Structure 1
Amino acid sequence: MIRLQLNPIASVADAQAMLQTAINVEFGTLPPYLYAQLSILPGSNAPAMARLQTITHQEMIHLCLSANILNALGGSPKLVAPVYPGPLPGDIGFDGKVLTLHLLPFGKYAMKQGMDIEMPVDPIDFPQLKMTTLVATKAVTIGQFYEALDAYLKSLPATAWQINRNQISDAQFFPGQIFAVNNYADAHRAIQVIVSEGEATSTSPLDFSNELAHFYRFEEIYRNQVLTSIPGKPGFAWGEPLGVDFAKSYPAVADPQLLDYSKQPEAARAAQQACTVAYTAMVDSLNLALNGDAAQLGIAVRRMFDLRMAAIHVLQTPLADKSKVAGPAFIYHAA
């Protein structure tokens, strides 16, 4: 499970720092999740594609909600593009050790990585499923991280909250799913959404909307089985095949940021450069949007589409080894 080092929260500045870490964790999961999603061959693996699309959309929503809380407390969100392979931003660990994330094409390894990221403290044992809960002594899960943050935010006076400061709304982005944070009640609701959709609870795999949390969605794809509701406890069991075919994916390399493009065909270099330009533009627009430039949000949405199209082109462009393609490297080039 991902574990964030939990330091005592003694001031609003401490809470702002925690929220910035949370924002970069949410943002840092997106390239690995998108790499797996986009590398699925068109027209195949529809159940897996649907699950991965839901996860990536919700991670983007979580990022915006965390930014709304930070803005309401007077902070200034900043997206920091990670390098892959490498750790997520902040003090991140897996069972007390640093968790190194990779860009992996659609397959069991990519799904296992998603499970490692989203794993709750006590994953539920379902029939056919036996998992050992590992506990680290100096670290906490993302859920526990947010719980500590929530407890501190609850103690703040009403005057600590700045109403309508740089809030991302659902007018242009994920209608009905993003909301402004103007007080503790709004922040508490946002935290509940983030934790529930990622980890669910210790007694159910379902989030607040009665949908499977991210960990269990990844587990369904990994196991190629549908987690099905049954009478009695634990309430669910592993049932029919989901219909996953890991062979139906683009032959993308792992960790394309490590590829030596000087040894690749011009078409592959050009395709990857176009992807880098699109990713950089999207990150720049999102940073402006998260800091009060409302017009940039619509621009960021369009640049997400541009990135998707550039990524698909990379996935369809052969490398020098014509049996392989690079896949989007998610490289950010600051101006």
Structure 2
Amino acid sequence: MILLKLPPLTSVAQARAMLETAMNVEFGTLPPYLYAQLTILPNSNLPAMARLQSITHQEMIHLCLAANILNALGGSPRLNPPVYPGPLPGDIGHDGKVLTLHILPFGKPAMQQGMNIEMPVEPIVFPQLKMLEAATVKAVTIGQFYEALDAYLKTLPATAWQAGRNQIEDKQFFPGQLFAVNNYADAHKAIQVIVSEGEGTRDDPLDFSKELSHYYRFEEIFRNQVLTSSDSKQGFSWGGPLGVDWGKVYPAIADPQLHDFSKEPAAAREAQAACTIAYSAMVDSLNLALNGNAAQLGIAVRKMFDLRMAAIHALQTPLADKHKVAGPAFIYKKI
């Protein structure tokens, strides 16, 4: 569960700071989600792969929408790549406990981590099998974080918004999904998209486009069951198997940022270096795109493809322990 301590909003400057935190939270989920996705063996676990791909795709959109709101309020978005294992950006935790994220290969722990990140305040319990225990503490989720932000933005005068400032309206890579934020109505729509796609609504696992929200997609994979519509009180029930094979995964190490690659064969070191170059280039292009150079978004998407290809090569390159490989460590270095 993402738990964010909410400061009282009294100024546009504070709203900008919250938006930058939110933007970096969206970005911070990408490496853990991508690692789980990339470590699935080719031509296997296709339903799980499709769900993970849709989640990472939407996280990119959420990142851009949050940046659009920030730009409309006169801010200057800045991505700050986090360290793993470690917390997502911002004050994340409850009663002094922080959610520490790890880079994990595809498996139940990685799916549980995804559920922890996307968990609503009150996850819906569907009939059929024994459910996971839900947190009983009162918490502030990412949805409530955005709700508080939205409530403040609603109070701003029209003059607070700068229409057309550094907006990303991409029609090539995210057609119909990215839109400009020029006023409060646009910002409210963007927030609704981000929240509904992440955790759904309080009483419905579906997002605004009538697809399962991220939390329940992760839970489908974790349980290896499809969540289907039914005549139950909740409107959905756990149905047949999704077809997950936990054995169809590269033997990738967890938390590669903690690994000492200096002791690995040259081929493994070179594979990691290629991953670092591609990841760093992607971050740099995204920062340029979010600050007015819209053409850089296409370059960032291509760099993400470069990262995928570098990751595939790394995952096929043995470490000194021939039974282990390492996916990208997601280390940022200024190019």
What TM-score results when the alignment is normalised by the length of structure 2?
0.97
C-alpha change, 1:185 and 1:129, in structure 2 (3 Å) is farther
Displacement of 1:305 in angstroms is: 1.1
Give distance in 1, aligned partners of 2:246 and 2:179.
37
Displacement of 1:130 in angstroms is: 3.2
Partner residue, 1:171? 171
Specify the code of the residue in structure 2 equivalent to 1:178: L
Displacement of 1:300 in angstroms is: 1.2
Alignment check: 8 A CA contact 1:161 1:182 kept = yes
Correspondence 1:217 to 2:217: yes
Give distance in 2, aligned partners of 1:189 and 1:329.
35
Partner residue, 1:46? 46
Partner residue, 2:126? 126
C-alpha change, 1:96 and 1:236, in structure 2 (3 Å) is farther
Partner residue, 2:186? 186
Alignment check: 8 A CA contact 1:2 1:95 kept = no
Displacement of 1:172 in angstroms is: 3.2
Q: Matched residues, percent identical?
A: 78
Q: What SS does the corresponding residue of 1:2 show, helix, strand or coil?
A: coil
Give distance in 1, aligned partners of 2:93 and 2:137.
10
Q: What SS does the corresponding residue of 1:116 show, helix, strand or coil?
A: helix
Give distance in 2, aligned partners of 1:70 and 1:294.
15
Displacement of 1:131 in angstroms is: 4.3
Give distance in 1, aligned partners of 2:321 and 2:89.
33
Specify the code of the residue in structure 2 equivalent to 1:254: A
C-alpha change, 1:135 and 1:161, in structure 2 (3 Å) is farther
Give distance in 1, aligned partners of 2:34 and 2:293.
26
Give distance in 1, aligned partners of 2:54 and 2:194.
13
C-alpha change, 1:169 and 1:62, in structure 2 (3 Å) is same
Q: CA RMSD in A?
A: 1.2
Q: What SS does the corresponding residue of 2:86 show, helix, strand or coil?
A: coil
Give distance in 1, aligned partners of 2:163 and 2:130.
47
Partner residue, 1:113? 113
Specify the code of the residue in structure 1 equivalent to 2:175: P
Correspondence 1:333 to 2:333: yes
Give distance in 1, aligned partners of 2:191 and 2:177.
13
Bigger shift: 89-98 or 188-197? 89-98
Partner residue, 1:84? 84
Specify the code of the residue in structure 1 equivalent to 2:131: K
Correspondence 1:310 to 2:310: yes
Partner residue, 1:2? 2
Q: What SS does the corresponding residue of 2:25 show, helix, strand or coil?
A: helix
Give distance in 2, aligned partners of 1:95 and 1:237.
34
Structure 2 unpaired stretches of 5+: none
Deviation digits for residues 40-75 of structure 1 (CA, Å, limit 9, x no counterpart): 000000000000000000000000000000000000
Partner residue, 2:26? 26
Correspondence 1:99 to 2:96: no
